[in-house]
Structure formats: structure tokens, C-alpha cells
Amino acid sequence: MKYQSKPDAVLLLEDGTVFYGKAAGKVGTATGEICFNTGMTGYQEIFTDPSYYGQIMLTTNAHIGNYGIHADEIESEQMKISGLICKNFNIQYSRPDAKASIQEYYEEENMVAISDIDTRALVRHIRDKGAMNGIISSEIIDINELKKQLAEVPSMEGLQLCSKVSTKEAYFYGDENAALKVAVLDLGVKKNILRCLADRGCYLKIFPMNTTFEEMQAWSPDGYFFSNGPGDPAAMPEVVENVKKVTATGHPVFGICLGHQALALSEGIGTYKMHNGHRGINHPVINLATGKCEVTSQNHGFGVKGEDVENHPTVEVTHRNLNDDTIEGIRIIDKNAFSVQYHPESSPGPHDSRYLFDNFVANIKAHKN
């Protein structure tokens, strides 16, 4: 094994806290909201998840990169995180199928990272103080200069970011001879969501986030899907208006993550920025209809206001988080629409909630007949 010396690097938090570590990935500077993910596997899917756009990923697992990089384990074509904070940045990897090391991957993607950080202390700090902006640098060590740059970084609250990751042109996915057609509004859709729908006999047309309802309707879809994505859901009123028009048609609707929040907003239900958010692959959620617990994959920093749902005459709670009792799923009683806050496509994560795609397809078939 060839040992390499690592240049120094520094992490500065919005509240003035400083952590020192070592440079990893590309030498440079990165800014964004720091969030932590508790998953022990699936780092490549996390790096490429569009919902992480604008955020610096802090991994609680001690080893990142230990099984290398594989071309198939991506949720979009490029990394979407702003940077990485980890304990051990493992350049050596053990998996024969891997095609590159994490260092090679980060250099190719021009991604900045910092390693050799006491991630347990950092996670505890953020857990107590709440999510906050930060800056990592392996080229600037002067704290005063970093403070100036960090002061220019906007808060995640109020940011509309889905336009940064949405497709610019519509495209198709799946078998064009499939019996069902589903219009997907891309707010930052993950590839595995498209796979889960296509595997169930759906032919998909994925539309840019600024597509009007009339443009989607012109394709004559059998159902509509609103995807996950980054940013503040309250900052995309045009999307919410489209959701409102779609649900009024009576066609089946399914939303995940940001799509779930957009569905709630279309019914006059508010959203809020969470203290930390939920990010990991082992979050327990109860299905209130069955009483069963599902172990779920999650990635969100905003949530739906529980009191608004509970006081709404035509919206019911279908799922709740067993850790903090937050809303994880809703159904519109007088419309053919439901949504969940978590990620049933589970990439990475357990497959407990894949049945939701089956339910959506069943709703489409019932509506057609």
C-alpha cells in the first residue's frame, strides 16, 4: 500500500465553530448547508441524489469509499452534493466490481472533501444546534477569509433549487408499448424511482419542473407522479399550482418527498424547515392503515405541518415517523391522490415500502377501467 501525505483542511460552521482535518478529493473550497446521513452503505447513491443539491454531506459511518465506485450505483449523472465531510476517506477499496477509487471519482467530478474529522462530535453539535451552513477548504486556511465567504451563502429556507437539477427537456423512459402512461414532473427525480415505475408496466414521460399542466395533459397520461427534489417547497408556487390542476382532474397522483410537500401545499397545508431533517436508511415509519412498521430511506430537511393536516377536512394522515411523530404520508380523501415524505424506491435502503408503487399502479388501472 502506498501511503500519501494529506494537506491540511478546515471546516468552519455558521456559528463560528471550527474543525480541522485533512484534504480529500479535489483541493478547493465548498459551501452549503451541512446535513448528516446515518446510512452505513450507499454512499455513491447519496452523492448523486438530486435532493442533496446545495448541501455538504456529513457521513456518520466511519468509512467512506471502502467498496469503491461502481458505474451502476448512481441516482443521477453527476454528483449533486456540494462537498463531503467524513472520518476516513478510504482510497483503497476491496470490491472487484468497482471501477475506480473514491479519490479518482472526486477528482473527476471536481468535488471537495475533508476527512479525519471527529464526525461524532460534529454530528452531536449539529443535532443540538440544528442544520446550518458551513464552508470546507483545503486551499484557504485563514478563518477570517472563510468567514467572509460563508457570510455570502444563502439560507436553505426560501431557496428554490429544483430548477437546478430538473431536466431541461422532456424525455421518455420504459417500454413505449406498456399499457400505462405516467407523466413525471421532474423536481430532481432519482433514477430508481423511474425504474420502480417502469418495472410495473408504466411508460414514462419526464417533464421539466416548469412544464405547465396543459403541456403534461396533452400527452394524455393515465397518471401523474411528482418527484423528490431539493430546496424549500414553499418557494415553488408554480409547481404547487400545477399539482392543484392535476388533482382536480381525478387522475391518480403519487408524490414522493418534495412531491409530497407540493401535494400538501396544493391543499392549503403549510410546510416548515426542520431542526435537522431526516437522512438515513433506517427510519421507522408506521402505516396507520395496517399498523405495520416500515424501515425507510429518508432525505428531507422540510416537513408538512401536522396541525394543518389534522385540521383539514379532506386530507388524512396515512403514515407517521415513529421517532418524532412527524407526518410521513397523506391521502386526499376526495381526490385520487396520495404521497409520502420518505423514499420507497429505497436506493439505498430497505424495500419495505415498495408496495406504494403497486398501490399507485392499481389506482391507475382502476381509474382506466
> Hey, which residues are catalytic here?
257, 343, 345
CA atoms within 13 A on the CB side of 229: 33
Q: Is the peptide bond before 348 cis (omega within 30 degrees of 0)?
A: yes
Q: What is the dihedral of CA 217, 219, 222, 227, to 10 degrees?
A: -70
User: What are the φ and ψ backbone dihedral angles of 282, each rounded to 5 degrees?
Assistant: -140, 35
Contact assessment for residue 196 and residue 357, using Cβ atoms and an 8 Å cutoff? yes
Pairing of strands 29-37, 55-59: parallel
CB atoms within 10 A of CB 220: 8
- Collapsing DSSP to helix, strand or coil, 337 comes out as strand
Report the distance separating Cα 68 and Cα 62, nearest Å: 15
Distance CA 238, CA 235 (A): 9
- The whole-angstrom separation of Cα 117 and Cα 177 is 52
The closest alpha carbon to 361, from 195, 180, 232, belongs to 180
Strand partners, 343: 297
3-class SS at 340?
strand
Q: What are phi and psi of 178, to 5 degrees?
A: -65, 155
Contact between 310 and 317 under an 8 Å Cβ cutoff? The reply is yes
Strand partners, 299: 279
d(CA 323, CA 266): 27
What is the rounded CA–CA span in Å between residue 173 and residue 75? 14
Distances (CA, A) of 357 to 50, 156, 179, 295, 360: 20, 30, 16, 16, 5
Closest to 180 in 3D by CA, of 161, 204, 157: 204
Whole-angstrom distance, CA of residue 351 vs CA of residue 139: 42
